[in-house]
Amino acid sequence: SSRYRYFYQSVWHNVLILLVIFLANGLTWLVLLLWSELFKLVGITFFKTLFFATDWFIYLTLGLVTALAVILARTQSRLIDSIQKLFTLIATGLLPLVSLLTLMFIITLPFTGLSAISRHISAAGLLLTLAFLQLILMAIVLDPQKASLPWTGPLRCLIKTALLVAPLYVFAAAWALWLRVAQYGWTADRLQGALAVLVLLVWSLGYFVSIVWRKGQNPLDLQGKVNLVVSLLVLVILVLLNSPVLDSMRISVNSHMARYQSGKNTPDQVTIYMLEQSGRYGRAALESLKSDAEYMKDPKRARDLLMALDGEQHLQEQVSEKVLADNVLIAPGSGKPDATFWSALIQDRYNVMTCIEKDACVLVEQDLNSDGQAERILFAFNDDRVIVYGFDSARKEWDALDMSLLPRQITKEKLLAAAKDGKLGTRPKAWRDLVVDGERLDVNLNE
């Protein structure tokens, strides 16, 4: 029809204009990058600053190059038509290959079973990609000015058969997606995947009907109408996605919290990061968790929630000498530190932030260098961190000497039991450090 013919040409024209815009901008900025790097070699950074750190230049260049690219594409109609024919020829060659892949995979499925698909996280995406390739290549080749497909009989049969089985791929993808939704709930990605399933299902079923139930009409004419309907459907979905009706943040947050409140998810399975990134809906969910006694009874969960709500800076402001002295657990056999030590700890509040929780950190005294002065070792179990502090006799102050990750094998219970039983000690390194003309080279070998 004339309507689809106009639609087909308009889509091609707009897509190729966008292609020219991206190509022109990409080449322009590559030249500017080469320009700036060459002058940077001789110590001139003016051009790098101008090209990539000056807003007005960036906006002006993007606008100018884009405008020139649009003018070029609109005036050189023969060039655009040639590019269109080139892409159409490429699609004409690829479609039989994709159709063969479609049929081979669908024939393989009865022997492997659908359970093999469900084990893979990306199964729905792969199936939808294959169905989309089959349909989009067909739409590209479907030139309304031609009355028939540009292939011989066997290839036409292959392509039509592949189009008939395309809905099966969409149904399989929908099943794989639904398994994930049933297991973990809705997320923004799964919502978009479900909408993609809807579009491809309408598209593939439309092609299926055009081949099977055409009532004497040319299936190519029916497929053109299907493409128009699918385009309108995509437009409606894009509008709804940017409206409260299909707000992905609202849907994903409501699904996540509903699973938690129904008991399908445990408190540890609540994803603070996802809620943080979900705007006002996520903020409201975080506020509701703050008043949830079951969720807040775990100190680590409570700390993560407060950090998400109030920010890390607010939590650091709660760190004080008195709070640390009241909450850090002193291991058996270790002396209670004086105010000087607690003052040293709050010099870097971030590292001891988790120690404001009762007994979350354990302090151990141990002479690590045999100088007669015990170092103090702070075990921050919630952060899997160990910090060693040493006393500077000259300045009468404590300093952080080293910080390392805490091995998972060392738990708080194991540490306290070892301290109580007198099983805490030190072991000298078997490998000594190398000294080269007074310069020390640390030798850290696995012992």
Place of tokens 């790098």: 48
Same domain, 228 and 254: no
Q: How confident is the model at residue 23 (pLDDT cuts 50, 70, 90)?
A: very high
In contact, 17 and 70? CB cutoff 8 Å:
yes
In contact, 389 and 375? CB cutoff 8 Å:
yes
Same domain, 49 and 170: yes
- Which pair of tokens denotes residue 350? 């971030």
Same domain, 187 and 152: yes
Same domain, 166 and 127: yes
CA distance 335 to 419: 12
DSSP assignment of 416-431: HHHHHTT-------SS
pLDDT of amino acid 120:
67
Same domain, 117 and 212: yes
- Which pair of tokens denotes residue 290? 């703050």
Angle (nearest 5°) at CA 423 between 428 and 427: 5
Q: Is the pLDDT of residue 426 over 90?
A: no
Main-chain dihedrals φ then ψ at residue 334, nearest 5 degrees = -110, 145
pLDDT of amino acid 151:
78
Same domain, 152 and 106: yes
Residue 168 included in any domain: yes
pLDDT of amino acid 158:
93
Same domain, 366 and 418: yes
Place of tokens 């005036």: 75
Residue 49 included in any domain: yes
Main-chain dihedrals φ then ψ at residue 379, nearest 5 degrees = -100, 110
Q: Is the pLDDT of residue 346 over 70?
A: yes
pLDDT in tens, 108-151: 888 877 776 766 667 888 999 999 999 999 999 888 777 667 77
Mean residue pLDDT across the chain:
88
Last residue of a domain, one of 228, 246, 264: 246
Residue 239 included in any domain: yes
CA distance 287 to 177: 30
Residue 447 included in any domain: no
Q: Is the pLDDT of residue 316 over 90?
A: no
Last residue of a domain, one of 284, 310, 336: 310
- The DSSP H or E segment spanning 392 is strand 385-392
Domain residues for 388? 321-441
Q: Is the pLDDT of residue 302 over 70?
A: yes
Same domain, 384 and 435: yes
pLDDT of amino acid 55:
94
pLDDT of amino acid 436:
87
Terminal alpha carbon distance of the chain = 79
Q: What is the mean pLDDT of the segment spanning 29-51?
A: 94
- For the ranges 354-368, 375-389, 432-446, which has the lowest average pLDDT? 432-446
Torsion, CA 144, CA 158, CA 222, CA 213, rounded to 10: 160
pLDDT in tens, 244-290: 999 999 999 999 999 999 989 999 899 998 998 998 999 999 999 98
Q: Is the pLDDT of residue 45 over 60?
A: yes
Same domain, 232 and 252: no
Residue 446 included in any domain: no
| Cβ-proximal residues to 408 (8 Å cutoff; 6+ apart), any chain | 384
Main-chain dihedrals φ then ψ at residue 404, nearest 5 degrees = -145, 170
Q: Is the pLDDT of residue 447 over 60?
A: no
pLDDT of amino acid 220:
75
Number of domains in the chain: 3
Question: CA distances (Å), 27 to each of 16, 53, 62, 65, 409, in order?
Answer: 16, 19, 12, 10, 55
Residue 300 included in any domain: yes
Higher local confidence (pLDDT), 178 or 213: 178
pLDDT of amino acid 1:
64
pLDDT in tens, 194-224: 999 999 999 999 999 988 876 656 777 888 8
CA distance 180 to 192: 13
Same domain, 241 and 358: no
Same domain, 215 and 338: no
**Number of Cβ within a 10 Å radius of residue 45:** 11
Residue 161 included in any domain: yes
Tell me the Cα Rg of the chain: 33
Place of tokens 């292939």: 151
pLDDT of amino acid 112:
78
pLDDT in tens, 67-123: 999 999 989 888 888 989 999 999 999 999 999 999 999 998 888 777 767 666 678
Higher local confidence (pLDDT), 316 or 343: 343
In contact, 342 and 324? CB cutoff 8 Å:
yes
Question: CA distances (Å), 331 to each of 189, 319, 386, 402, in order?
Answer: 48, 21, 14, 20
Last residue of a domain, one of 246, 265, 299: 246
Q: Is the pLDDT of residue 186 over 60?
A: yes
Q: Side chain identity at 3, as an amino acid letter?
A: R
Same domain, 164 and 222: yes
Residue 315 included in any domain: no
